[in-house]
Amino acid sequence: MAKKQRVKRQQAERIRDREKKKRNTEMKARRGNMIRFFDFNLLTVLIFLICFGLVMLYSTTAYSALVDHEDSMYYFKRQLFFYVAGFAGMYVVEKIDYHIYIKWAKMIYFFSIFMMALVQTPLGKEVKGARRWIRLPFGQQLQPAEIAKIAVILFIPVLICNLGKEIKTWRGIRKVLLWGGFSAVCVLRLTDNLSTAIIVMGITCIMIFVVHPKTAPFVVLAAGGLAAVIAGVKVLGTMLETSENFRLRRILVWLNPEGHAEDGGYQVLQGLYAVGSGGFFGKGLGNSAQKMIMPEVQNDMILSIVCEELGVFGVIIVLVLFGLLLYRLMFVAQNAPDMYGSLVVTGIFAHVALQVILNIAVVTNLIPTTGITLPFISYGGTSSLFLMVEMGVALGVSRRIKISE
């Protein structure tokens, strides 16, 4: 009897071994038929956006650069340098296996907070009333709030992956919101940068929304929050006429830019004039009149000059390019080999989308001015460098996608 049982066990083991070998053979065959993927479409759209941005930056700043720096290409050459450095950084980051960020994400998160704290030391630099930069050698400066964005993009997915099914509960959501909220508060308190704090918190919330199985609670919360903000603004608008707080004054300017044209509404009004005067095809590249008198037009108001010089047609081109960029990021996120890679690219998607939406809203005076730049088009060294690094991370994830032949 025992001998028969032993024989049956041996037969069963041989059958299992044969099935295991068969599965391994099939897996090897499938791997042999899989090819590595690289999103050249994403890279192509990125190059088009950068080239368009450089052309518009030169057109926008040639006059002011000649007046202020005696070199019409001053801003263009600086931005070109940052993009060359950015492409080098993107190439290096794209070659790195993104799984290594899991180990270092928490350290990067705390490093970003440390860098922001340096703004409050003698290393901090104040520019036009805002203390948000750190002095660097050779007359350069760094805006550490940009590090906070990529730190959250890399670290929050680690938290979500570690929580597993717990992220579906309010307890898990609170844990993630606590880490994202702490970074946002540090951005606000240490660098006095409300717009970046909003983006950091927005990236966190979008990641939670993507992984959570239910949609209705988030829609209700978003609608309720929007209604509360609108009601609050309407009430505060009648109470803040004598306020000296510059953020509250921005609300007043937003509600009535014509009435505050001399004390904060000038840039908003000139931007709206530029948007309205462009027509469908614009005045022609380089023919803007508002860029001659609008302060800091190369930063968050550059889209208004696109409207004036290239018209609605030019804005459509910009929106199509951003739409293609976001579509390719969404494609990479959906096809990433694991949850961490998918969430990291989702965070990059959220960052770019939020900045584009908020910048357009500011230019059209749908929301108060925030100082948020238009990605790849506005002037800005730190912002451009870290955006290119984020694109390198996204391309690195895309490189590890495998598709069937």
Query: Could you read off the pLDDT of 150-162 as tens digits, one per residue?
Result: 999 999 999 999 9
- Whole-number percent of the chain with pLDDT over 70: 81
Which pLDDT band holds residue 381 (cuts at 50, 70, 90)?
confident
- Please state the rounded mean pLDDT for residues 44-49: 95
Query: How far does Cα 15 stand from its chain's mean position?
Result: 54
Confidence at residue 29, expressed as pLDDT on a 0 to 100 scale: 45
Stated pTM of the model: 0.85
- How is residue 372 annotated by DSSP? P
Query: Can you tell me the distance from the alpha carbon of 280 to that of 315, in angstroms, rounded to the nearest whole number?
Result: 9
- Whole-number percent of the chain with pLDDT over 90: 40
Cβ count within 10 A of residue 361: 14
Confidence at residue 356, expressed as pLDDT on a 0 to 100 scale: 94
Residues in Cβ contact with 375 at an 8 Å cutoff, skipping those fewer than 6 apart: 49, 322, 352, 355, 356, 383, 387
- What is the average pLDDT score of the chain? 83
pLDDT at 272 over 90: no
pLDDT at 81 over 50: yes
What's the pLDDT tens digit per position in 227-268?
A: 766 666 566 555 555 555 566 667 777 777 776 666 667 777
What's the pLDDT tens digit per position in 176-213?
A: 999 999 999 999 888 888 888 889 999 999 999 898 87
Starting at the edge strand found earlier in the chain, the sheet holding 130-135 runs 124-127, 130-135, 141-142
- 374 closest CA partner among 134, 155, 79, 157: 79
